[in-house]
Structure 1
Amino acid sequence: MLFDQFGLLIVDVFSLLVLIKETEMDQGFLVMLSNLLHLQNHLDPSSSVFSSDATSLSSSSTSSVSSLLTSSSAAPLLFFTIASVLSFVAASRPSSSSSPTSSSRSPSRSRSSSPSDHSLSAFRALSTELIWSMDPPVRDAQWRSSYGLSYPVFTTVVDKLKPYIAQCNLSLPPDYAVAMVLSRLSHGLSAKTLAKRHSLDPYLVSKITNMVTRLLSTKLYPEFIKIPAGRRRLHETTQAFEELTSLPNLCGAIDSTPVKLRRLPTDVSDPSSYHCRYGYPAIQLQVVADHKKIFWDVCVKAPGSVDDATHFRDSVLYNKLMSGDVVWDKVVNVRGHPVRPYIVGDWCFPLLSFLLTPFSGTGRGTPAQNTFNAALMKARLASVEAVGLLKGRWRILQDLNVGLHHAPQTIVACCVLHNLCQIAREPEPELFKEPEENGSLPRVLESERSFYYYGENLRQTLADDLQQRLSSR
């Protein structure tokens, strides 16, 4: 019986060696597992091959083998043999030509690193105690290259998500989980590509991505994406826009952009509904940005074929503004007209009392109307550039390679991360350029007529006032 167990053990050990060779296990992992197995032998008297007294512990290897052969259980032999094999493999595995910490100290080495360094392996190399001896600019540059943001912002994200990740009973530390997801979002990697590069299970990569993006889009959204209804922030926003455009009480610019989907599921009932105006399958993203290119509203509710006006009318923001749920704590008087805070957009959006759009885009309006259009377009650049920064920093949004069901939360998660970067004044990447929009003027709904007429009157009043002020300077 004992020799049958020993024969099975030989097969198990041989299988283990094959697994180690094929998967190229990390040396630290091998040492950790070996130590755990030795620790188990030490703590569990019922299965330990070592006697509890000091004499037995210091006995020769011959007596140890003898105790193994006389044991009535195969468990001690199994633990001892596996621990020995792992210790031998970990000790004999050749070290890399250069240590991670030394490579992390060299800026030139960082610049020439391969794309495979931009994920968990890079995080493992950089997240050591020696990171504190690095110059912050060098450290942060490497962090941005790997994860799209600097080390301080990275730690902020980890600290805010750590309590929620802990509740998910994840087998991976929170900082590793966040690093892996940020690597995927910033470099646009698919789950299969990231898994193949770092010997991970694609299912695990997808699971962790879905978990972290869900937490970002739900738990952190209320903190980092909110309407500037408070007196201080509203005053700062409207004043900054007025300095830029000379238009009073302007508090944001709205824009819409299609987020390209790499593929559609085969079970989608109407694939053509997802094809946007540029011809590829997409999901519509609508944002409202302030003068700092920080989003204060985000909506992802429509497939790519839906026009901007329809998407806006289906948003929570539209319903709040129409019902008066948003209480703006600031009103200015312009030529006898009370002007509440408003946002601006292009002619693809409906003209309303709280959303002003340009006069005719042909440039054949009156001097006052043309002046107003030019000022409005200056404000609208805030949202256009914010979207360009969003897709430039989080490149997964250039070709979204997640499941359709998880696409909205991934997009919103990137918007939350964008705001974190803008608030922290992270260096802005190159803008992602999209083709110019062209669309027809939306029709006025019956429920919007009073808002439309008020907006039309307000727009003309602001145009005349702006023209008079600029001409008198």
Structure 2
Amino acid sequence: MDQSFLIMLSNLLHLHNHLDPTNSLLSDTSSAAYSSDVSSPSSILTSTSAAPLLFFTLASVLSYLASNSPKKPSKSSSPSSSSKPPSEFSVAAFRALSTERIWAMEAPLRDVQWRSLYGLSYPVFTTVVDKLKPYITQSQLSLPSDYAVAMVLSRLSHGLSLKTLASRYALEPYLISKITNMVTRLLATKLYPEFIKIPVSRRRLVENTQGFQELTSLPNICGAVDSTPVKLHKLSPDVINGSMYYCKYGFPSILLQVVADSKKVFWDVCVKAPGGYDDSTHFRDSLLYNRLITGDIVWDKAINVRGQHVRPYIVGDWCFPLLSFLLTPFSYNRTGNPAQNAFDEALMKGRKTVEEAIGLLKGRWKILQDLNVGLNHAPQTIVACCVLHNLCQIAREPEPELWKEPEENGQPPHVLENEKGRPLPNEISAVDI
């Protein structure tokens, strides 16, 4: 028994003997009788003088035991239960930053801080929230719209996993996944038509062709096309034809095809094929190709080049087919004559804009460097990042360090008979898939 408890009990007994020495119930020589009588209410009541002190004694003992007994951990403090959200990521902290402290900061400092958290400046962030808020409100999400958008942007810009984000925001992983899927779907569907548009108006065509002519000295270029594999974090073993997802660099991926203007803004995005597809096949499967080949899109800004009417066209590398609306280099390693090499060099300056646009895309939205979402939601996540990329480029957000792709070896282009306009590199035979 605890030594301090024994001392307290002894002092109480001595005090009682001093006050009522004639009472034999609590005398020093009858401690055994005390041990038995304390559990008997009838014997305690036999002495009127001892009753108050015994009651006080019992109350003191019970109070002491209660205050010194080890406390069992409550359910709320058990390791399995969710802990309180960290203050810097709670709704209250977000609200304080976004509505109270944000406008007290200098604009550059404000935007640097917001960009480090969510990948874009505060004014661009509010634009995204304002456009998505009506749709998020309809979903009856239990979280504020701006808080949900901020959470998803932090995942896209930093490439955070569900587990990490769930721990940071003190939410269940399934809820994080649900919110991510909802916001990326809205970006890829509701905001896509507004921020990713094929230039069909004469004003936009003139802007695009003039921008490329300043870069390349070639007339009437209205866009540059390229493809890039977006690495998948993992590929489920039950995926049918899983080997088709492995790109030429050796990792599982989905193929992203984009067309960019001279300002590195995408005006067409296509995500339709596994990473093992070649650029030419993916291009022929795209909606853009079908609309151009059928005449659904007609760029009505023809110029005269040595007696030939040349409509606006896009440029690509030697992996793409040569078409009336798509020009490619004469050779892939500058092995043509001086005039051909000069043309190739100018053309590749134009194509460099789309290379840099892809580098900015993956540098700004790091989730595309290792896409940790389910395969079913991968395409919409990629397209959502392309929409956000355009928002940042249009708003002239600072450009991050470019993401560098592995050295390209390229796949032989598959060219149809009616697409042959000049000899292909290494005299590759025409094959269509």
The corresponding residue for 1:276 is: 247
Which runs of structure 2 are paired with 1:441-456 in the superposition (5 Å)?
441-446=412-417, 449=418, 451-453=419-421, 456=422
2:210 to 239, 250, 270: 239
Partner deviation per Cα, 1:133-183 (whole Å, 9 max, x = no partner): 111111100000000000000000000001111111111111011000000
Which runs of structure 2 are paired with 1:175-190 in the superposition (5 Å)?
175-190=146-161
Cα distance, 1:265 vs. partner?
Answer: 1.6
> Does the CA contact (< 8 Å) of 1:184 and 1:190 recur in 2?
yes
Amino acid paired to 1:219:
K
By percentage of residues, which structure has more helix? 1
> Does the CA contact (< 8 Å) of 2:136 and 2:145 recur in 1?
yes
Say which SS state the counterpart of residue 250 (structure 2) adopts: coil
| Higher mean C-alpha deviation, range 165-174 or range 309-318 | 165-174
Distance 1:130 1:163 in 2: 26
1:298 to 255, 269, 274: 269
Distance 1:452 1:123 in 2: 58
Say which SS state the counterpart of residue 286 (structure 1) adopts: strand
1:389 to 354, 357, 360: 360
Distance 1:180 1:254 in 2: 32
**Structure of larger gyration radius:** 2
Cα distance, 1:327 vs. partner?
Answer: 1.9
1:221 counterpart = 2:192: yes
Number of equivalences: 352
Partner deviation per Cα, 1:29-60 (whole Å, 9 max, x = no partner): xxxxxxxxxxxxxxxxxxxxxxxxxxxxxxxx
1:288 counterpart = 2:259: yes
Gaps of 5+ in 1: 1-13, 28-95, 101-116, 458-473
1:25 counterpart = 2:87: no
Cα distance, 1:442 vs. partner?
Answer: 1.7
Which runs of structure 2 are paired with 1:190-205 in the superposition (5 Å)?
190-205=161-176
Say which SS state the counterpart of residue 256 (structure 2) adopts: strand
Cα distance, 1:367 vs. partner?
Answer: 1.3
1:154 counterpart = 2:125: yes
Say which SS state the counterpart of residue 280 (structure 1) adopts: coil
2:341 to 362, 365, 370: 370
1:326 to 283, 297, 316: 297
- Structure-2 change in CA distance of 1:196 and 1:334 (3 Å): same
The corresponding residue for 1:126 is: 97
- Structure-2 change in CA distance of 1:122 and 1:275 (3 Å): farther
Distance 1:329 1:135 in 2: 47
Amino acid paired to 1:323:
T
| Higher mean C-alpha deviation, range 193-202 or range 210-219 | 193-202
Distance 2:246 2:368 in 1: 16
Distance 1:122 1:366 in 2: 64
Partner deviation per Cα, 1:379-438 (whole Å, 9 max, x = no partner): 001000000000000000000000000000000000000000000000000000012222
Identical counterparts, % of pairs = 73
- Structure-2 change in CA distance of 1:365 and 1:26 (3 Å): closer
Amino acid paired to 1:189:
L
Partner deviation per Cα, 1:333-360 (whole Å, 9 max, x = no partner): 0000100000000000011111100001
> Does the CA contact (< 8 Å) of 1:122 and 1:146 recur in 2?
no
1:361 counterpart = 2:332: yes
Q: Give the TM-score of the pair, scaled to structure 2.
A: 0.77
Distance 1:120 1:186 in 2: 20
Distance 1:266 1:154 in 2: 38
Cα distance, 1:17 vs. partner?
Answer: 5.1
Distance 1:359 1:170 in 2: 55
> Does the CA contact (< 8 Å) of 1:188 and 1:395 recur in 2?
yes
Cα distance, 1:440 vs. partner?
Answer: 4.0
Which runs of structure 2 are paired with 1:159-170 in the superposition (5 Å)?
159-170=130-141
Say which SS state the counterpart of residue 228 (structure 2) adopts: strand
Cα distance, 1:361 vs. partner?
Answer: 2.1
Say which SS state the counterpart of residue 431 (structure 1) adopts: coil
2:234 to 251, 256, 263: 263
Cα distance, 1:441 vs. partner?
Answer: 3.5
1:210 to 172, 181, 184: 181
> Does the CA contact (< 8 Å) of 1:120 and 1:179 recur in 2?
no
Distance 1:253 1:327 in 2: 17
Q: Give the TM-score of the pair, scaled to structure 1.
A: 0.71
Cα distance, 1:23 vs. partner?
Answer: 3.5
